[in-house]
Chains A and B, each alone.
Chain A
Amino acid sequence: MKQLSLSLFSLGVLLTISATYACEDYSVKEVSSGIYYHQGVHEEPSESNMGAIANVGFIIGEQCVAVIDSGGSYLEGSYLRQAIKNTTDLPICYVINTHVHPDHIFGNAAFKDDKPTFIGHEKLPAAIAAREAYFAKTFKETLGKAYTGTEFISPTQTASINKPITIDLGNRELILTAYSTSHTDHDLTVFDSNTKTLWTGDLLFMGRIPVMDGSINGWIKTMTQMQTMDLNFLIPGHGEASSDKWQSGLQKQLDYFTLLRDEIRVIIEDLGTIDQASKEVGILEQNSWELFEHYHRRNVTASFVQLEWE
């Protein structure tokens, strides 16, 4: 009898785990020495993927660990924290958020016990405040149980445009650079000087369609600048980290937004409408990107109202 109830109990546990994402399935990969990332899936956030759709990870120095983006839910944050604990005993001193989107910041609360310094762009606190209520309402539903425990934690240390900040993890300096409006109005990148690895946040999407939540002209300018960077490795916000694939990925993203801009400008010039633009612009790109249907028309809509003011 005792045995039966035990096995029933185990079965229950198994069923619970298999219905969601299990901790042991959560893998991180070493990109370059001491730099690890978990590659998000190209899906919309859901309870079954626990919102783990973005690239998140950590960098280990001689004294400290820095987390770069904390995950798309409290649950993902806790799995990422466990992956760090499985890799090193060093303390987590910093949690860096590249921007406000839920897949990058929702895991913050999982690191509260480590008492890290939360770092972001100087405009990140305002961006969190403006979206918090909306995100909480929407994602509680989208992420179900994975959302439980999620909190909105603003950075206490911030970087300003033209004033990068440097943090030292112990013989390992990270340079945190704040950008003018691109993917959002508060993008932050992390550069590891030792290995020349750049963590771009969502300034670069590979495979998954990029989402414009900032300025189309600003982002195009930023991408052009990124093309000249001397890097050994790059970790995009979405898609595969590499030493040799990001260049073509960046070009592809630049081409996409340049095409959108060119075609939208023609429609605006002709007094066309948003509705017309969202049906006509960039449709040949639809087989080139994952989740095109979900975000392409949004990109067109958001770009249209900006390009009206050129």
Chain B
Amino acid sequence: MFNRTLALLIISLSFFNVSAYAATPSEPLWPTLKIAYFGDKEIREAANDLLVIEAPKRAEDAAIVPITVKSLVAQTADKYIKNIHIVVDNNPEPYSANFHLSPELGLIDISTRMRVDQYTFVRAIAEMNDGSLHMVSRFVKASGGCSAPAGKDAAAALARLGKMQIRMRKPTVGEPVQAQVIVSHPNYNGLQFDQQSRLYIDAHYIKNINISYNDKTLIEADTGISVSEDPSIRFTFTPESSGVLKADVKDSKDQSFSLQKNI
């Protein structure tokens, strides 16, 4: 899905070449992006009755901007949010993540961290199980001063590549609990420079995080280069029995990492 979307974007951007490059604040990118990612499907805007997106007004650190998406309507087997697409309009790769969601999640409450290096809209587009699309968005101002979306300590990030944590408060069966999956990974976006070889480092990033409980997927996230170094997903779920919470992670060089926690 993700790669197909990327391919679509590239094709579309070459069609829409002129308008994409002429984009200025007065001529926003979104109309082009919308066609690239969602074709001619209708998107209901300002879907504040269904979704809430939280983001700081200003990106304090361009490399780490916390984004939270919450649903206001509980997931049911008949009617549920199947996917939440995250688009950061003015990032080098605007299509930033797609969270595939289980109908068993209850209320959605998902947070992650993004790179945001300039003034931009951050959008969450919910795709329901009937295929309809509903969008909420927030405007995030760029950080000031010397903040750059570059990593702070590349050596440290690389040294602990693949280390994982599942963090949560003490869970009670039958009650919602917050959990966080973090994977240490430099998430190279292809713009970083290697001082030894004097060449740009190939993009090397986490592309898929699958979070399951007792082997049933709760959230599967397709992620791209907009996601911060050391990708983090925080979410709420309700364990209906004791069991195993597991996170399986794949990166763009087909390395796999995994961690589980007994509840």
Chain A: residues with CB nearer than 8 A to chain B?
Answer: 44-45, 101-103, 122-123, 125-127, 129-131, 133-135, 137-138, 181, 184-185, 211, 213-215, 218, 271, 273-275, 278, 294-295, 297-298, 300-302, 305-306, 308-309
Query: In the docked arrangement, what's the CA distance between A214 and B146, Å?
Result: 12
- Report yes or no: A44 in contact with B169, Cβ–Cβ below 8 A: no
Closest to A215 in B: B153
Query: In the docked arrangement, what's the CA distance between A138 and B150, Å?
Result: 14
- Report yes or no: B143 in contact with A131, Cβ–Cβ below 8 A: no
Q: How far is the CB of B172 from chain A (nearest CB, A)?
A: 15
Closest to A185 in B: B153
Known contacts A44-B145, A271-B168, A309-B160: does B154 contact A126 (CB below 8 Å)?
A: yes
- Report yes or no: A130 in contact with B66, Cβ–Cβ below 8 A: no
User: Which residues on A sit within 8 Å (CB–CB) of B192?
Assistant: 130
- Report yes or no: A308 in contact with B154, Cβ–Cβ below 8 A: no
User: Which residues on B sit within 8 Å (CB–CB) of A130?
Assistant: 148, 150-151, 191-193
Selected interface stretch from B176-184, B203-211, B238-246: B176-184
- Report yes or no: A185 in contact with B154, Cβ–Cβ below 8 A: yes
Q: Is B12 an interface residue (CB 8 A)?
A: no
Query: In the docked arrangement, what's the CA distance between A184 and B191, Å?
Result: 19
| CB 8 Å contact bits of B136-162 with A (1 = contact, 0 = none) | 000000111111111111111000100
Q: How far is the CB of A293 from chain B (nearest CB, A)?
A: 10
- Report yes or no: B61 in contact with A302, Cβ–Cβ below 8 A: yes
Query: In the docked arrangement, what's the CA distance between A298 and B147, Å?
Result: 9
- Report yes or no: B195 in contact with A305, Cβ–Cβ below 8 A: no
User: Which residues on A sit within 8 Å (CB–CB) of B230?
Assistant: 305, 308-309
- Report yes or no: B148 in contact with A135, Cβ–Cβ below 8 A: yes
- Report yes or no: B156 in contact with A215, Cβ–Cβ below 8 A: yes
Can you list 28 A-B pairs, Cβ within 8 angstroms, ordered by A?
A125-B198, A126-B154, A129-B193, A129-B195, A130-B191, A131-B150, A133-B191, A134-B150, A181-B156, A185-B152, A211-B145, A214-B152, A215-B156, A273-B234, A274-B66, A274-B113, A275-B54, A275-B66, A294-B144, A294-B145, A295-B145, A301-B61, A301-B66, A305-B64, A305-B113, A305-B228, A309-B165, A309-B230
Query: In the docked arrangement, what's the CA distance between A185 and B168, Å?
Result: 31
Classify the interface of chain A: helix, strand, loop or mixed. Answer: helix
User: Which residues on A sit within 8 Å (CB–CB) of B191?
Assistant: 130, 133
Q: 7 extra interchain contacts, Cβ-Cβ under 8 A, other than A44-B145, A129-B193, A275-B68? A: A103-B146, A135-B148, A213-B146, A278-B60, A298-B147, A305-B230, A308-B230
- Report yes or no: B66 in contact with A123, Cβ–Cβ below 8 A: no
- Report yes or no: B156 in contact with A126, Cβ–Cβ below 8 A: no
Query: In the docked arrangement, what's the CA distance between A215 and B118, Å?
Result: 24
User: Which residues on A sit within 8 Å (CB–CB) of B117?
Assistant: 134
Closest to A132 in B: B193
User: Which residues on B sit within 8 Å (CB–CB) of A309?
Assistant: 160, 163, 165, 184, 230
Q: Is B45 an interface residue (CB 8 A)?
A: no
User: Which residues on B sit within 8 Å (CB–CB) of A273?
Assistant: 66, 111, 234
Closest to A135 in B: B148
| Residue from B153, B167, B194 with most neighbouring chain A CB atoms (10 Å) | B153
Query: In the docked arrangement, what's the CA distance between A252 and B63, Å?
Result: 27
| Residue from B60, B118, B160 with most neighbouring chain A CB atoms (10 Å) | B60
Q: Is B174 an interface residue (CB 8 A)?
A: no
User: Which residues on A sit within 8 Å (CB–CB) of B147?
Assistant: 213, 298
User: Which residues on A sit within 8 Å (CB–CB) of B169?
Assistant: 271
- Report yes or no: A181 in contact with B152, Cβ–Cβ below 8 A: yes
- Report yes or no: B152 in contact with A215, Cβ–Cβ below 8 A: yes
User: Which residues on B sit within 8 Å (CB–CB) of A103?
Assistant: 146
User: Which residues on A sit within 8 Å (CB–CB) of B54?
Assistant: 275
- Report yes or no: A298 in contact with B143, Cβ–Cβ below 8 A: yes
Known contacts A273-B111, A274-B66, A305-B230: does B150 contact A127 (CB below 8 Å)?
A: yes
- Report yes or no: A301 in contact with B64, Cβ–Cβ below 8 A: yes
Q: Is B56 an interface residue (CB 8 A)?
A: yes
User: Which residues on A sit within 8 Å (CB–CB) of B229?
Assistant: 305
Query: In the docked arrangement, what's the CA distance between A302 and B61, Å?
Result: 7
Query: In the docked arrangement, what's the CA distance between A38 and B29, Å?
Result: 44
- Report yes or no: B193 in contact with A302, Cβ–Cβ below 8 A: no
Which residues in chain B, 61-119, are within 8 Å of chain A measured between CB atoms?
Answer: 61, 63-64, 66, 68, 111, 113, 117-118
Known contacts A278-B60, A305-B230: does B111 contact A122 (CB below 8 Å)?
A: no
- Report yes or no: A134 in contact with B148, Cβ–Cβ below 8 A: yes
- Report yes or no: A271 in contact with B150, Cβ–Cβ below 8 A: no
Known contacts A122-B195, A130-B193, A134-B117: does B64 contact A271 (CB below 8 Å)?
A: no
Q: How far is the CB of A162 from chain B (nearest CB, A)?
A: 15
- Report yes or no: B152 in contact with A271, Cβ–Cβ below 8 A: no
User: Which residues on A sit within 8 Å (CB–CB) of B150?
Assistant: 127, 130-131, 134
Query: In the docked arrangement, what's the CA distance between A308 and B178, Å?
Result: 16
- Report yes or no: A302 in contact with B145, Cβ–Cβ below 8 A: no
- Report yes or no: A126 in contact with B194, Cβ–Cβ below 8 A: yes
User: Which residues on B sit within 8 Å (CB–CB) of A271?
Assistant: 167-169, 178, 180
